[in-house]
Each structure stands twice: as C-alpha cells, then as structure tokens.
Structure 1
Amino acid sequence: MSAGPTIADLLEQTNRELAGTDARVYRRVADHLQRFSAALLDLQDPHSAGTQDPKALLGKGSFLQQPATRLKRLCKEHGIKGYSKLQKAALAQLLESHGVTPPPPPLESFTKKELIALVRQLQEEG
C-alpha cells in the first residue's frame, strides 16, 4: 500500500491550479473575503449591523464624475463665492479646497449590471 498525497502536496497542487486561473477568480475571492470580514465585524458588534448608509453602496464619489451644474449647486449650498464662471476642473478643485465631500457617482454612470448588483445588495441587507 502506498501512502496517499500529503497535505503539503495537496496544498502545493491547489496553489498551482489557482496560479493558472485568471484575475476574475481572484477578484471574486477578494469580494467574498470582504463580505465575510464585514459579516464577522457585524457579528462582533451587533449595534453596527444594518446601519450602513445606502449611498455608501454607490462607492466613493468624485467631483469630476458630476455635471458642472451640480458642482455649481454644491458651491452655492456650501456658501462658496466666485464659482459662476469656473470650468468643471476648477469647480472640483474649489470644492475640494473647501473640504466638501464629493457626492456618490450619478446613477447614470453605472452599467445595468452594476445597478442590478446594487439592488441585490440592498435586498440582502434589508
């Protein structure tokens, strides 16, 4: 009788197989690990569960993803003066210099697939 493969042999074989896969698999694994990590944190601190802002699901915003009219409206809302004749890049710089947080990306910038994923994520949390 011959001894079967050792755990080290099995791990080495598995590592070789993983190394042959493409980057999409690694991204899926990373996403899964992030969700798992977040679930563990929620289990450790039950008071934080379900308190995520739905806008946070949209990701970090950027002023350059917003239309210039929205940037001008943000300037007005934050009491910033001298913005009316500025172009988009200058408006973004002005807002950043005043410590304004960029809004999430507009929904129009997401693909249908990304929007479906966001809705599914909201359903899972609810």
Structure 2
Amino acid sequence: MSTSIADLLEQTNRELAGTDARVYRRVGEHMQRSATALQTLQDPEAAGSQASKALLGKGSFLKQSVASLKRLCKDHGIKGYSKLQKDGLAKVLERHGVTPPPPPLESFTKKELIALVRQLLG
C-alpha cells in the first residue's frame, strides 16, 4: 500500500505542530524566567527579603542607627520625627505599624557572622 501525498502532508504538519508546541512552551518558560530575573534586578530586596529576614532574625528598632530610623520615618511618610532621639523614633515607628528591619550586619559578633555564612552555604 502506498502513502498518498495528502497522508505525507498531514504527517509532516503534525510533526511541525508538535515541534512548534515544544518551541512555544520553551519560549514561554524562558520568558517567565526572564521576567522573574528582571523583577529581582528591579527590586532585589523583595526577592530576598523573606529569606534574609529569617536568616538575620527578628528585627529591633533599638539595634538600628538614628539615621536609619529617621530614614524609615521618611520612607513611611511620618511627620515630626526630626528632633526625636532613638527611643522616641522607635515608639513613633511602632505606633505607625512599621515592621522593624533585621539587625544590621555590623551588630553581629564574629561568631554569629560565621554561623550565618554556614547557614547560607549549608
């Protein structure tokens, strides 16, 4: 039994359609990875914020510098903070529901930093 031209064309079209579907699927996956990478580049804190907060531990306003507390006030649109000391800044931020950032790396001891690096590598 010989194969007709119509059968050969149909078979070729099916193979092409299958190839196209795989290509489109791979292009879609690539575009999704690219979009995620772009989002990470645009907002690196959002990408790693959960992991870094868990790794660095619970934040405290009192472990932050006065300058960083004033920057938090400014970022959250809080008024009347410029003359406040650290305790006052911490209270104002808490009252406005601002979540304390994790402690700065400078506040960790050498032993704690080594433990953080081991967690990251392990």
How many residues matched? 73
Work out the CA distance in 2 between the residues paired with 1:75 and 1:88: 12
- Contact 1:54–1:122 at 8 Å: present in 2 too? no
Rg larger in 1 or in 2?
Answer: 2
Pick aligned residue for 1:107 from 102, 105, 108: 105
Percent identity between the aligned chains?
Answer: 79
Secondary structure of 2:81's match? coil
Pick aligned residue for 2:70 from 72, 84, 92: 72
Secondary structure of 1:64's match? helix
Task: Using the TM superposition, give the Cα deviation of residue 53 of structure 1 relative to its aligned residue in structure 2, in angstroms.
Answer: 1.1
Task: Using the TM superposition, give the Cα deviation of residue 55 of structure 1 relative to its aligned residue in structure 2, in angstroms.
Answer: 2.6
**Does 2:48 align with 1:83?**
no
Q: Deviations over 1:78-120 (max 9, x none)?
A: 0000100111100000000000000101111111111010011
Corresponding residue for residue 62 of structure 1: 60
Runs of 4+ in 1 over 6 A off after TM superposition: none
Task: Using the TM superposition, give the Cα deviation of residue 54 of structure 1 relative to its aligned residue in structure 2, in angstroms.
Answer: 2.2
Bigger fraction of residues in helix: 2
Unaligned runs of 5+ in 1: 1-51
Task: Using the TM superposition, give the Cα deviation of residue 63 of structure 1 relative to its aligned residue in structure 2, in angstroms.
Answer: 0.3
Q: RMSD between aligned alpha carbons?
A: 0.9
